[in-house]
Structure 1
Amino acid sequence: MKAIWLFVLFAWFSPAFGAGGGTLSFPSNLQHGKVPAVVILFSLPDCAYCEKVRQQSLRHIHADPGYEGRVAVYEIDFSDNKRSFTWFDGNRYTGKSLAGPLNVKFSPTVMVFNAKGTAAGKPLLGASLPEFYGAYLDELIKSAWAL
């Protein structure tokens, strides 16, 4: 119980976890498959629901020992046509050019991929109750590990 309260206090006072903490890391190169599961939040600027998903469901992954070295979390603005990155297939994309092939039309959309870029189940669309959202996300991550 003490550990939970310490985590809550840390999260409350930590700038990385605070409200308005900004976006998650932007991927530069996903081709090398350094981890067995990659979680990507496809977002839009000023999306309040994206912030909710970011804070309640995605930022904790970096602090979870069960995920350490096994999951990477990134965020891509799917309206962005300037910043590019290397996708799993070795091709360069912007958020906007990748949104079409992945059928990303709704913000927020969370997708989980294995190290080779295979999607692990259906995307999570919108923001839901954290306890349900987290359970669905955990299930997708475990599916990516099994692929």
Structure 2
Amino acid sequence: MRQSWKSWSVLFGGLILACLPLTAPAAPQLAQASHLDAEARQAAKAGGPLIILYSRADCSFCKTIKRDFLGPLAVDPRYAGRVVVREVAQDSNAALTDFAGRDTTHARFAAAEKIRLVPVVAFYGPDGRQLHEPIVGARLPDFYQSYLEAAIEQSTRALQRKP
């Protein structure tokens, strides 16, 4: 009896492993922007920029940026609680409140910001002013983290200089 229980547990364990997906993990979900005015004030109060990823559902580079860089940023002790990261979907008509408190949509806001190609990572202060040049495209993956960290640090310094 004992031997058959072992056989069944090995077989069952093998079946479970066989059912697990062999694909790469999905890109983490970033919080969708909803009230940019409040989200930017929240970030500034914490001492950092509001970071917005402009993306599209069909953009594989956007998924890579979320998975490899912006998702981990939220749990990085150097940045957790200091920056607010949101996503604006260029191809979405989801409701959005802009920096001036006006109602718009994700697609209209992205168009107003002149976002044409994605991914774009932009850095904003509480008044909706960009604090640093946006990071456009996926660039070189080996250096992307450095680009992102430099932009966050420069944006943070720009916030501190503001009267």
**Is TM (by shorter chain) over 0.5?**
yes
Q: From 48, 58, 65, give the equivalent of 2:70.
A: 58
In structure 2, the residue matched to 1:93 is: 104
Contact 2:97 2:104 in 1 (8 A): yes
CA-based RMSD: 1.7
Are the structure 2 counterparts of residues 138 and 22 from structure 1 closer, same or farther at C-alpha, using a change threshold of 3 Å?
closer
In structure 1, the residue matched to 2:84 is: 72
Counterpart mapping for 1:1-147 below 5 A = 19-32=25-38, 33-36=41-44, 37-81=49-93, 83-147=94-158
Structure 1 residue runs without a partner (length 5+): 1-17
| Regions of 4+ moved over 3 Å | none
Aligned length: 129
**What is the distance in 2 between the residues matched to 1:116 and 1:124?**
20
Q: TM-score, normalised by structure 2?
A: 0.72
**What is the distance in 2 between the residues matched to 1:28 and 1:95?**
9
Structure 2 residue runs without a partner (length 5+): 1-23, 159-163
Q: Give the drift of 1:94.
A: 1.0
**What is the distance in 2 between the residues matched to 1:21 and 1:139?**
23
Q: Give the drift of 1:22.
A: 4.9
Contact 2:50 2:83 in 1 (8 A): yes
1:94 is matched by which residue type in structure 2? T
Q: Give the drift of 1:112.
A: 1.1
CA deviation vs aligned residue, 1:50-82 (integer Å, no higher than 9, x gap): 11111111011111112122101111111212x
Contact 2:27 2:64 in 1 (8 A): no
**What is the distance in 2 between the residues matched to 1:19 and 1:53?**
13
More helix by share: 2
Q: Which SS does the other structure have where 1:90 is aligned?
A: coil
Contact 1:57 1:130 in 2 (8 A): no
Q: Give the drift of 1:144.
A: 2.1
Q: TM-score, normalised by structure 1?
A: 0.79
Percent identity between matched residues is 29
Contact 1:120 1:141 in 2 (8 A): no
